[in-house]
Amino acid sequence: MDYIRRASERGRVNMGWLDSQHSFSFGHYFDAEHMGFSVLRVINDDVVKPDFGFDEHGHRDMEIISYVVSGSLAHKDSNGNDYVVPAGDIQRMSAGTGIRHSEYNPSKTEPVNFLQIWVIPEKTGITPSYEQKTIAATSTLTPLINPAGSQGALSINQHVAIHKLVLKKGESYTFSTDQRWGYLHLIHGLAEAEGISFSAGDAFGLRQLRDVTITAKSETEALWFDLPAGKG
């Protein structure tokens, strides 16, 4: 295993209305050993209380993805997009030359838990864009995002593919990186790879020419990132 990131070791920010755990350095949390993995720059595991959220703020030259684990997330931006993203949906915003947006929990009673993911773009200065989609898991590994938006996935301005991995207890799946890198973030469940146990919030990274088999010890959901070979 080339890189292991334990849920319990992530940076944490609790602002009352927001409880966020950072896999990589972000905001006031800095750790020189965890600055990202390849072009994967941010994975924040955010829980937002009912009727709270992030006020309007700006971004540029970043691919920003939201994966809603539970609850729903309301999105509104300066390009006129105004949507609610339910649990299981995937959202991608290319900030490009600049965009302002807000995100909040529209529920009066239930928190929202979502993964905020940032990917460094291939090209800067592009026209901002937005996509959102419900993508049902139809196989063990379901495409969510890829450069061309093929196989029913959303598109992205980078040579990155993101898949949802769903395993029942006892099922296994083998990842092969070839000339690329890979990163797996466990959302739910218990799993084992190379004799190492992983639970919700844990992650591992693989560099080039690696084959790793993951076996579910309970019903498991994870995100698999197929990444360019790089730093991290």
Instruction: Give every CB contact of residue 221 below 8 A, 6+ residues apart in sequence.
Output: 164, 165, 166, 186, 187, 188, 189
Domain membership of residue 232 (yes or no) is no
Residue 232 scores a pLDDT above 90: no
Q: Give the bridge partners for 90, in sequence order.
A: 67, 133
Chain centroid offset of residue 137 CA = 16
What DSSP letter does each residue of 132-153 carry, written as one string? EEE----SSEEEEE-TT--TTP
- The number of domains in the chain is 1
Q: Six-digit token pair at 173?
A: 């799946």
Residue 227 has a pLDDT of: 98
Domain membership of residue 89 (yes or no) is yes
- Residue 215, sorted as left (phi over 0), alpha (psi -120 to 50) or beta, turns out to be beta
Q: Six-digit token pair at 77?
A: 């931006």
Domain that holds residue 81: 3-227
Domain membership of residue 142 (yes or no) is yes
pTM: 0.97
Domain membership of residue 117 (yes or no) is yes
Domain membership of residue 125 (yes or no) is yes
Measured CA distances, 49 to 74, 85, 114, 121 (Å): 13, 16, 12, 31
Residue count (the chain): 232
Q: What is the CATH number of the domain that holds 91?
A: 2.60.120.10
pLDDT tens, residue by residue, 155-208: 999 999 999 999 999 999 999 999 999 999 999 999 999 999 999 999 999 999
